[in-house]
Amino acid sequence: MGYEEMFPPMDMKWHANAAKRFASPFVDNPHDRIDVDPIILSHAAVACGYTIRDFYEKPELGIHCVGYISQLYDLLPVTHWFYSMPWTRELGLKLQYKETLPPISTGPILSEPGDVDKLRVMDKEELKKNYTLQEFYRIYDYVAKNLPMTLVPISYGFDLVGAAAELVGVENFIMWTFTEPEAAKKLVKIYTDTAVNGAAGMADKYGMAMLIVGSVLANNDIFSDEAVEEYSAKMMRYYVDQSFRKGAGPQVFYHLCGNHETDYKVFKDTLIWSPFTVFHIGYKGKNVFPSKLLKEEFSSRATIMGSVDTKLMINPNPMTVYQQAKEQLLAGRDAPKGYILGNSCECPPYTLPGNMLALVKAARDFGTYGSW
């Protein structure tokens, strides 16, 4: 039995309405209400009775769970699937599947700054025969066959600094940014060039590749504003620019996870903004990044995505979720290029359904676009 035989057909009436809502920020035609994208990943598998490990180890099953559960919560009508370290296996890292986590590294493969010179960027044709791109092809071929209305092929640069750091160990990498900055920069560049070639490989096959790229390890809990700009923001710009030049895009999702208390300022004039860009910041200090500030700084350049604290999604208090969602919606809903409500990071796998309902109900109650 294929995974597609384990799920009822998609509700096409729901999908048609959700698709208009999903497109509305980019075509300047408000529809229905503000969309909700809690970055639902392995929670979809858990909600269908599977495990977090199932989601990552059986990606066709995982992505079908995303499509199926998105109907339940009335979320985005598209399917997406990813983990935090794509393209690292091509550079020599081994990943281990875990019961309660996305795949993790079995350990660094480099220990000395001079070892970085041993790494080689794979070209596009080599990547097509290797782990990550083969995995993405499997997933999106499955979606094209079984859930074609939800198909949005995605290529993940994701955390350019964090994924590169795994190759030498995160602690070593942070130290190198002080003691061996040229080696640290070269490492991130090699990872980024590999990810660019991966995006080109996706575009070759599907004619497009939505880009997801973020600044996760590079945040104010660890780095200065200057270091975030040098190691992360400039490389995010390079990744998007080079991917566009090789046929990927045009949609871009910038995800700034963790604390970006002051470094958010360095992204504004550094990143590339397409007409189909969504910009998201998780936290400012210990609190969710305020939608009011997000709107002031970025809403003229992109659709902005405001946040409810992910910690609240596993707290048995739906009213707390509803109230924070209300505050964020009222502060951001009239953003000129549109507003999306989400979580400050990936939806927790064991999110309480009552809290998810509170998130969506807040969007229905307060997620109008300005005056209508």
Is the overall model pTM greater than 0.75, yes or no?
A: yes
Q: What is the mean pLDDT of residues 96-109?
A: 92
Among candidate residues 200, 192, 205, 218, the one with its CA nearest the CA of residue 88? 192
Q: How confident is the model at residue 57 (pLDDT cuts 50, 70, 90)?
A: very high
Q: Are 52 and 130 in contact (CB under 8 A)?
A: no
Which phi and psi angles does 114 have, rounded to 5°?
Answer: -65, -20
The model's confidence at residue 370, banded by pLDDT at 50, 70 and 90, is low
* Residue range 189-208, pLDDT digits in tens: 999 999 999 999 999 999 98
**Token pair of 120 as six digits:** 């080689």
Q: CA–CA separation, 338 vs 291, rounded Å? A: 12
**b/e map of 102-112 (b: 16 or more CB within 10 Å)?**
bbebeebbbee
Q: In the numeric block, which tokens belong to residue 142?
A: 């499955």
How is residue 25 written in tokens?
């920020």
What the block records as the tokens of 57 is 């180890």
Mean pLDDT of 25-30: 85
Q: State yes or no: pLDDT of 372 exceeds 80.
A: no
List, in sequence order, every beta strand (DSSP E) within 29-89: 35-37
Tokens (6 digits) for 230: 């040098």
Looking at residue 246, what DSSP letter applies? T
- Give which of 164, 156, 132 is closest to 232, Cα–Cα: 164
pLDDT at 172 over 60: yes
Residue 165 binned pLDDT confidence (cut-offs 50, 70, 90):
very high
The mean per-residue pLDDT over the stretch 291-314 comes to 97
Give the closest residue to 168 by CA, choosing from 82, 239, 245, 91: 91
What pLDDT does residue 158 have? 86
Average pLDDT over residues 164-185: 97
Does 115 have pLDDT greater than 80?
Answer: yes
Average pLDDT over all residues of the chain: 95
CA 49 to chain CA centroid, Å, is 24
Q: pLDDT-based confidence at 26, cuts 50/70/90?
A: confident
Residues with Cβ within 8 Å of residue 49, at least 6 apart in sequence: none
Q: Name the nearest CA neighbour of 108 among 43, 46, 170.
A: 170
pLDDT attached to residue 27: 84
The single residue listed with the structure tokens 């970085």 is 116
Per-residue confidence band for 295, with pLDDT thresholds at 50, 70 and 90: very high
Gap between the Cα atoms of 81 and 355, Å rounded:
22
* pLDDT average, residue stretch 323-339: 96
Confidence band, pLDDT 50/70/90 cuts, at residue 274: very high
3-state secondary structure of 362: helix
- Write down the pLDDT at residue 371: 55
The dihedral sign for the CA sequence 14, 67, 308, 317? positive
DSSP symbol at 100? S
- 49-62 mean pLDDT: 97
Mean pLDDT score, 333-342:
94
Q: What pLDDT digit, counting tens, does each position of 205-251 carry? A: 999 899 999 999 999 999 999 999 999 999 999 999 999 999 999 99
Whether the predicted pLDDT of 151 surpasses 60: yes
Residue (of 160, 171, 149, 246) closest to 202 by Cα position = 246
